[in-house]
């Protein structure tokens, strides 16, 4: 093992925190043995809090229409080759109905920032879901909105909100986004969601263009401070119709290393083994679970639109990624020492 890593791991275990420079050291000095030890500690902490349960979320991709123009994203506004779609409320309810039968007790409504989904329309949809399946959690992942909008959606019954911060460095943020998008507004949204009583998820891509070890250390310091209930991290994967088409993808190894570190920083955090991780490697999700993740989010969207929600090239949506295939997913989770459970899977914050 890289000399110097062991004391860093011990300190992280004890204090759930490191100075920025030490995160940088731990990241720059990444080696196999350190990764193995971090994963072992991360899995031990996960077991203490959640046992061997893996929570599943039914992901319903409600619209790929987006007003934003993020440089990395395949559904960015200026991608004219993207075939746009929007699900109707009755299509969304049909997805939830099927998902309930498959054992899902959390529905994630995810989409681009599509103005059709006004507060009024979303609130009536959320109320309908909560009325029909009162034992289910509703998670929203619909981008930046006003405090008042977040408040209305919460009042209608939304339980959780996922909004990746993308990067905790304002300078890095500016290189991944067009000038009209603001780092401050993104952070404002996360604070608003927290204040309103949502279970809040932040997150970032690993290996995104221009990302440095110092940027990643900032992400980890942000996670220490914000203590998210959920944290979505996955490798950046280029999309052929974006300005980053020729940039290299992130790796399974760096993603898993960060998953383990984040588990050590916030032991009860809900950590998904993301679709992007499953896309860059056939055993990516299993590797994520073995690094300390405890959530998977199979695709519950209508099969006819799945290929259109293409955030990056070759995004997987079949096999274990398909909600209809819970048994294949469970087989994979068992191979990683875990078991899928039918449960809302709320965070066990301590
Ligand atoms: N590669 C990996 N992840 C991506 N996302 C968007 N584009 C890509 C890409 N090219 C992630 C972003 C966003 C979430 C919906 O998907 O982090 O927040």
Helix (H, G, I), strand (E, B) or coil at 63: strand
Give the CA angle between residues 326, 270, 75 to the nearest 5°.
70
Inside any domain, residue 61? yes
Spacing, Cα 236 to ligand 1 middle (Å): 7
Q: 73: Cβ below 6 Å to ligand 1?
A: yes
Give the position, in ligand 1's atom list, of the atom nearest the Cα of 232: 17
Inside any domain, residue 348? no
Give the position, in ligand 1's atom list, of the atom nearest the Cα of 164: 18
C-alpha closest to that of 165 among 214, 221, 210, 115: 221
pLDDT given for residue 259 in this prediction: 98
Inside any domain, residue 33? yes
| pTM to 2 decimal places | 0.98
CATH number of the CATH domain containing 172: 3.20.20.70
Instruction: Report how far residue 283's alpha carbon sits from residue 114's, in angstroms, rounded to the nearest whole number.
Output: 33
Instruction: Tally the domains of the chain.
Output: 1
Give the position, in ligand 1's atom list, of the atom nearest the Cα of 311: 7
Spacing, Cα 55 to ligand 1 middle (Å): 21
Q: 236: Cβ below 6 Å to ligand 1?
A: yes
Spacing, Cα 132 to ligand 1 middle (Å): 31
pLDDT band at 1 (very low <50, low <70, confident <90, very high): confident
Average pLDDT over residues 34-50: 98
Compute the mean pLDDT over every residue in the chain, rounded to the nearest whole number.
Answer: 97
CA 16 centroid distance within chain: 21
pLDDT given for residue 350 in this prediction: 67
Q: For the chain, what is the radius of gyration of the CA atoms?
A: 19
Inside any domain, residue 89? yes
Q: 231: Cβ below 6 Å to ligand 1?
A: no
> Are 298 and 321 in contact, with CB atoms under 8 Å apart?
yes
Inside any domain, residue 346? no
Give the position, in ligand 1's atom list, of the atom nearest the Cα of 110: 15
pLDDT given for residue 81 in this prediction: 98
Instruction: Report how far residue 159's alpha carbon sits from residue 109's, in angstroms, rounded to the nearest whole number.
Output: 12
pLDDT band at 3 (very low <50, low <70, confident <90, very high): confident
Give the position, in ligand 1's atom list, of the atom nearest the Cα of 166: 17
Could you tell me the residue range of the domain that residue 161 belongs to? 5-341
Q: 136: Cβ below 6 Å to ligand 1?
A: no
Instruction: Write the pLDDT tens digit of every residue in 214-224.
Output: 999 999 999 99
Inside any domain, residue 347? no
> Are 58 and 230 in contact, with CB atoms under 8 Å apart?
no
Q: 61: Cβ below 6 Å to ligand 1?
A: no
Pocket test for ligand 1, best of 64, 65, 73 (most atoms within 8 A of CB): 73
Q: 66: Cβ below 6 Å to ligand 1?
A: no
Inside any domain, residue 285? yes
Inside any domain, residue 349? no
């Amino acid at each position: 093992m890289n000399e110097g890593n062991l004391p860093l791991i011990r300190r992280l275990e004890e204090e759930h925190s490191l100075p920025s420079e030490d995160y940088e050291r731990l990241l720059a000095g990444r080696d196999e043995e350190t990764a193995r030890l971090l994963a072992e500690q991360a899995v031990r902490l996960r077991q203490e809090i959640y046992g061997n349960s893996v929570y599943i979320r039914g992901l319903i991709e409600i619209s790929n229409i987006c007003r934003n123009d993020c440089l990395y994203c395949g559904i960015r506004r200026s991608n004219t080759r993207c075939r746009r779609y929007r699900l109707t409320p009755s299509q969304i309810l049909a997805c939830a109905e099927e998902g309930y039968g498959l054992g899902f007790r959390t529905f994630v409504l995810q989409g681009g920032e599509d103005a059709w989904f006004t507060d009024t329309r979303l609130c009536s949809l959320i109320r309908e879901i909560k009325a029909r399946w009162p034992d289910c959690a509703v998670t929203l992942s619909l981008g930046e909105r006003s405090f008042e909008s977040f408040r209305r959606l919460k009042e209608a019954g939304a339980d959780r909100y996922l909004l990746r911060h993308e990067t905790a460095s304002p300078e890095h943020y500016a290189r991944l986004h067009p000038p009209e998008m603001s780092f401050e507004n993104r952070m404002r949204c996360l604070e608003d969601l927290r204040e309103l009583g949502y279970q809040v998820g932040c997150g970032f891509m690993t290996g995104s263009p221009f990302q440095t070890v110092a940027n990643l250390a900032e992400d980890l310091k942000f996670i220490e401070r914000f203590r998210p209930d959920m944290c979505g991290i996955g490798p950046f994967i280029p999309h052929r119709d974006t300005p980053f088409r020729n940039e290299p993808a992130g790796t399974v190894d760096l993603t898993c290393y960060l998953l383990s570190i984040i588990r050590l920083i916030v032991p009860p955090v809900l950590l998904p083994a993301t679709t992007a991780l499953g896309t860059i490697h056939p055993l990516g999700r299993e590797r994520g679970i073995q690094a300390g993740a405890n959530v998977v989010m199979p695709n519950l969207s209508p099969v006819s639109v799945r290929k259109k929600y293409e955030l990056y090239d070759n995004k997987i949506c079949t096999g274990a990624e398909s909600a209809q295939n819970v048994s294949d997913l469970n087989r994979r989770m068992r191979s990683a020492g875990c078991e899928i459970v039918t449960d809302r899977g709320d965070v066990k914050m301590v």
